[in-house]
Amino acid sequence: MLTPQAEIIILASLVAVTCALPGVFLILRRVALMSDAISHAILLGIVVAFFYTKNLASPLLLFGATLVGILTVSLTEMVIRTQKLKKDAAIGLVFPFLFSIGVILINKFATNVHIDSDCVLFGEIAFAPFNRLIISGHDLGPQGSWVMGGILVLNFIFISLFYKELKVSTFDPELAASLGFFPVVIHYVLMALVSITAVGAFETVGSILVVALMITPPAAAYLLTNRLSRMLLYSALLGIFSAVGGYAMAKALDASIAGSMATMSGIIFMVVFIFAPERGLLAKLLFRKWRQWDFATQMLAIHLLQSEMAHAEEKEIIVSHMQDHMLWNSEYTSEVIAQCLEDGLIKKTGDKLSLTSYGREKAKTIISRPP
Amino acid sequence: MIAVDFLLNIFSDHTVRVVALGAMILGVTAGCLGSFAVLRQQSLLGDAISHATLPGVALAFLITQNKSPIVLLMGAALSGWLGMALVMAITKMTRIKLDTALGMILSVFFGFGLVLLTIIQKLPTATKAGLNKFLFGNAATLLESDVITMSVLGLLAIFLVALFWKEFKILVFDYDFAQSLGLRVHFLDVFLTTLIVITIVIGLQMVGVVLMSAMLVAPAAAARQWTDHLGKMVFLSAVFGAGAGVAGAVTSSLVIHLPTGPTVVIYISFIVLVSLLFAPNRGLLWDWIRAQRGRREIQTTAMLKNMLLFSESQTNPFHPHDIAALRAIGKGALNKTMLELKKRGLVESFAGNRWALTQEGLKMAKHLMEKYEGHLNAYSSS
């Protein structure tokens, strides 16, 4: 028997992975904000289905919400097709409208039942262990975990079965269409999965934080790799880190678990943003610095080579003359010279500089390189 | 008359007056700044910024233990601004696209705000009530002092837009040109977005963080349909924003359990729908009418051409033909087409549903035929 704590952590990780998988495709297809639109709009579907069934645990809620999710996507695309409004404005119009209807319905007609806009916005994962799946007397754990697990399996099956199609239609929709992959169908199936995932997750993390789990881990993974398969894997892992780290943070601060998970995913993104190899801020800064030094040492070596070839006056290669010629200040000049000495490009006798044979070779290859 | 009495009664109520005034200021400011956001295709920037204000509100309260709107709104502005700066930094420094960056800032900041809100709720001071209205807005709790704050901020924002009108206009329509003129586009970019942050802050108490973005997008999107002129668009947008704002705020403060934000959004969505359908020139209705007109033109032209071919096979070019014969070659709404042609005096009808070209019709048909062949030759020789 698992402790409630462990159950919450497992459920949180399940939610994170389930969200991260379709999230990867959302950000690669540049429709990240459709997750925001869908996760808000599904409220309407949940509310209407709830009024119909009077039961918050009914599978009809999942169905209604998924339907509204697809409705959101098609309404948005309908507005875009009229060419009266751009994509961003169309998204920004459709979902607030559907969401508003949902919120008004809740506030107006459901004030004394167990559904309110706060619980939809925020979710409450801490209550998940109380709602158990019991089949013929056997306690099989929190119901939420089974629902989320089912959706995860669904996402996983879809992505592995249509991996090739998804990949081609994401990176080259025209090619996908010409290969007969029906990119529009794939698009709508993906959006349906996003809707189902959002509905499954709304109960535990709420509609806005679903967005955090769908977008943030994949965005971080996007800075770590160029391969789709690795991006999926990294997103899932970073999602789990966000879930576990978020839970620890929530315990420490005695605050909302879902909010902490979102915050943690943001922190993880910032860490990746700064420290990622190659694409991180630090790596880019270091690379720029390195390029500067590389350029300076090369210039010095070339200068020495040219004065060598021209049999120039001796003063050409005196250290103090270097800085006038290159327009470097004396401090920088001595730093560059030190770097060149360290790299073995030049040697220094008294205050005269000359190339080593290695430096001469290198300078020659640089100037003979075609532009 | 009943309606007028009703309105007079409503606006004699002090609370409603305050609410309506606040909603009007919000509508005008949001409509005005929203126009720029929509035209720059940054409609969803407002969504991200407004969600990003939540931790600022909560943090301001946590630090100062003060619930006065000025303090909370300062916090909101700061964190909204920080969110915007992060969006700009992320999109500029990495390959992450704008939509992803917006979605991240929106949800992560909101999540952090939620963490802070739950911490506040557990505070013993128990003055937590009132922060929740920042989620969906509550016009009924608006005080006169709030409206004064809103007015000052709103007028300031509108004044600055008027002052930088020319610069913003160039920035919106031709960024590169603005840059080549030596305008400091990055500064203007940040400046314009800062004004949007201020607008959002004005709306927080009224419509809340979740739906504030609709206040920016919808009036501007509606106004765009009515005009191609920036000045007129901003003006109309402000009018729409104010109208929906006042209607929504008044409705929600009169009806219990009706949150202000969603109510305003329903009103403004209705305005958008009407604009999309019926705005002169750009409206979908006019598109449809134009398409119908074009289709009728093609049908009548085709029929004239066919009747010309018929008449050329006869010794008398005005010999009437049975409708069945015409139907054999012409498609579409035959009766409508014939009546239309008759109305224009190009054909005349005879007993037994038979039709013939008139003098006028023959001339027109030949003219059309020549024009058509001219096009054809030009096409084949090119």
Long-range contacts of A347-352 (CB under 8 A, 24+ apart): A348/A319, A351/A318, A351/A319, A351/A320, A352/A314, A352/A317, A352/A318, A352/A319
Q: What's residue B108's pLDDT?
A: 95
Q: What is the pLDDT of residue A174?
A: 87
Residues of A in contact with B114 (CB under 8 A): 122, 209, 256, 258-259, 262
CB A123 within 8 A of CB A204: yes
With 70 as the cut, is the pLDDT of residue A121 above it? no
Boundary (domain end) residue, out of B282, B303, B321: B282
Min Cα separation A266/chain B (Å): 6
What's the pLDDT score for residue B96? Answer: 93
CA–CA min distance A104, chain B (Å): 6
| CB < 8 Å to B113, chain A | 259
Q: CA nearest A98 in B: which residue?
A: B266
Contact A266 B112 (CB under 8 A): yes
> Which of B250, B282, B314 corresponds to the end of one domain?
B282
d(CA B67, CA B254): 25
pLDDT at B127 over 70: no
Burial label, B351 (beta-carbon count in 10 A; 0-12, 13-18, 19+): exposed
The nearest CA of chain A is from the CA of B75 a distance in Å of: 18
Q: Are A345 and A301 in contact (CB under 8 A)?
A: yes
Q: What is the mean pLDDT of residues B287-306?
A: 86
* Percentage of residues in chain A having pLDDT higher than 90: 35
Chain B partners within 8 Å of A93 (Cβ): 214, 217-218, 221, 269, 272
How does residue B35 score in pLDDT terms, banded at 50, 70 and 90?
very high
User: Would the pLDDT of B169 be above 90?
Assistant: yes
The residue ranking higher by pLDDT, A48 or B349, is A48
- To test the contact with chain B by mutation, choose from A31, A36, A109 the residue with the greatest count of B C-beta atoms within 10 A, namely A36
Q: Is the pLDDT score of B61 beyond 80?
A: yes
pLDDT at B7: 65
Average pLDDT of the residues of chain B:
86
Q: Helix (H, G, I), strand (E, B), or coil: what is residue A137?
A: coil
Same domain, B311 and B180: no
Which candidate, A26, A34, A186, A54, places its Cα nearest to that of A113? A54
pLDDT digits (tens, 9 = 90+) for A132-178: 777 777 777 787 888 889 999 999 999 999 999 899 999 988 898 88
| B59 and B126 both lie in a single domain | yes
Q: What is the mean pLDDT of residues A207-224?
A: 92
- Integer Cα distance of A178 and A183 in angstroms: 10
B15 pLDDT exceeds 60?
Answer: yes
Question: How far apart are alpha carbons B290 and B294 in whole angstroms?
Answer: 6
Q: Are residues B368 and B260 in the same domain?
A: no
B206 and B302 fall within a common domain? no
Positive or negative, the Cα torsion across A257, A259, A260, A262? positive
Task: For residue A353, list its beta bridge partners.
Answer: A348
Which residue segment(s) compose the domain that B360 sits in? 286-374
In this structure, the answer to whether residues B207 and B322 fall within a common structural domain is no
Question: Per-residue pLDDT for B239 more than 90?
Answer: yes
Neighbours of A284 (CB within 10 A): 14
Q: How confident is the model at residue B319 (pLDDT cuts 50, 70, 90)?
A: confident
What pLDDT is recorded for position B234?
A: 95
Helix, strand or coil for residue B123? coil
The first and second tokens of residue A111, run together, are: 């004030």
How far lies B225's CA from each of A87, B234, B269, B276, in Å?
A: 15, 12, 14, 6
Interface touch B42/A269, C-beta < 8 Å: no
Task: Label residue A349 by pLDDT band (50, 70, 90).
Answer: confident
Name the DSSP class of B331: -
CB < 8 Å to A32, chain B: 97, 99-100, 102-103
- Range(s) for CATH 1.10.3470.10 in chain A? 4-279
Q: Quick one: average pLDDT of A199-222?
A: 87
Do B24 and B110 have their domain in common? yes
Instruction: Give A173→chain B minimum CA distance, Å.
Output: 18
**Pairs across A and B, CB distance < 8 A:** 206
Tell which CATH classification among 1.10.10.10, 3.90.79.10, 3.30.470.20, 2.60.40.1260 matches the domain A285-368: 1.10.10.10
Position A209 pLDDT exceeds 60: yes
How close is the nearest chain B Cα to the Cα of A32, in Å?
Answer: 5
Give yes or no for residue A113 having a pLDDT over 60: no
Q: Of residues A40 and A323, which shows the higher confidence score?
A: A40
B382 domain residue, yes or no: no
Looking at B282, B317, B341, the residue that finishes a domain is B282
In this predicted model, which residue has the larger pLDDT, A345 or B164? Answer: B164
Q: Is residue A2's pLDDT more than 90?
A: no
Per CB-CB distance under 8 Å, the chain B contacts of A117 are: 135-136, 259
Q: For residue B94, what is the domain's CATH number?
A: 1.10.3470.10
**Total structural domains within chain B:** 2
- Per-residue confidence (pLDDT) for residue A369, from 0 to 100: 76
> Are B106 and A103 a contacting pair at CB < 8 A?
no
Is 70 exceeded by the pLDDT of residue B130? no
Task: Quote the tokens at residue B263.
Answer: 């109510």
**Least confident piece of the model among A166-170, A244-248, A332-336, B180-184:** A332-336
Model pLDDT for residues B213-225, shown as the tens digit of each residue: 899 999 999 999 9
Are B95 and B213 in a shared domain?
A: yes
pLDDT at A237 over 90: yes
Contact A192, A66 (CB under 8 A): yes
The pair phi, psi for residue A140, each rounded to 5°, is -105, 15
Considering chain A, what is the average pLDDT of its residues?
85
pLDDT at A53: 83
Give me the residue label for tokens 């959006």: A191
Whether B380 is in a domain gets the answer no
Please indicate, yes or no, if residue B121 is contained in any of the structural domains.
yes
Q: Nearest Cβ partner of A259 from B41, B111, B258?
A: B111
Residues facing residue B348 across a β-bridge: B356
Nearest to A100 among B42, B211, B257 (CB): B211
Query: Where residue B291 sits, what CATH number does that domain have?
Result: 1.10.10.10
Residue B327 has what pLDDT? 74
Contact B97 A32 (CB under 8 A): yes
Whether B246 and B304 share a structural domain: no
Indicate which of A34, A104, A281 best probes the interface with B, i.e. most B CBs within 10 Å of its own CB.
A104
Q: Which residues of B touch A83 (CB under 8 A)?
A: none
Which of A338, A339, A340 has its CA nearest to residue A360?
A340
Residue A80 vs residue B9, higher pLDDT: A80
Minimal C-alpha gap between A22 and chain B (Å) = 14
Inform me whether the pLDDT recorded for A302 exceeds 70. Answer: yes
- CB < 8 Å to B211, chain A: 96, 99-100
Q: Is B253 inside a domain boundary?
A: yes
Residue limits of CATH 1.10.10.10 in chain A: 285-368
CATH placement of domain A4-279: 1.10.3470.10
CB contact under 8 A, B282 and A84: yes
CA distance linking residue B242 with residue B236, whole number of Å: 10
CA distance A113 to chain B (A): 14
**Residue from the list A33, A96, A100 with its beta carbon closest to the beta carbon of B103:** A33
Q: Are residues B98 and B197 in the same domain?
A: yes
Residue B163 lies in a domain: yes
> Which of chain A's residues have a Cβ under 8 Å away from the Cβ of B93?
273, 281, 284
- Which of A35, A86, A281 minimises the CB distance to B41? A86
* Residue B381 included in any domain: no
Is B101 part of any domain?
A: yes
Domain assignment present for residue B148? The answer is yes
**B55 shares its domain with B13:** yes
Same domain for B65 and B184? Answer: yes
Whether the Cβ atoms of residue A243 and residue A16 lie closer than 8 Å to each other: yes
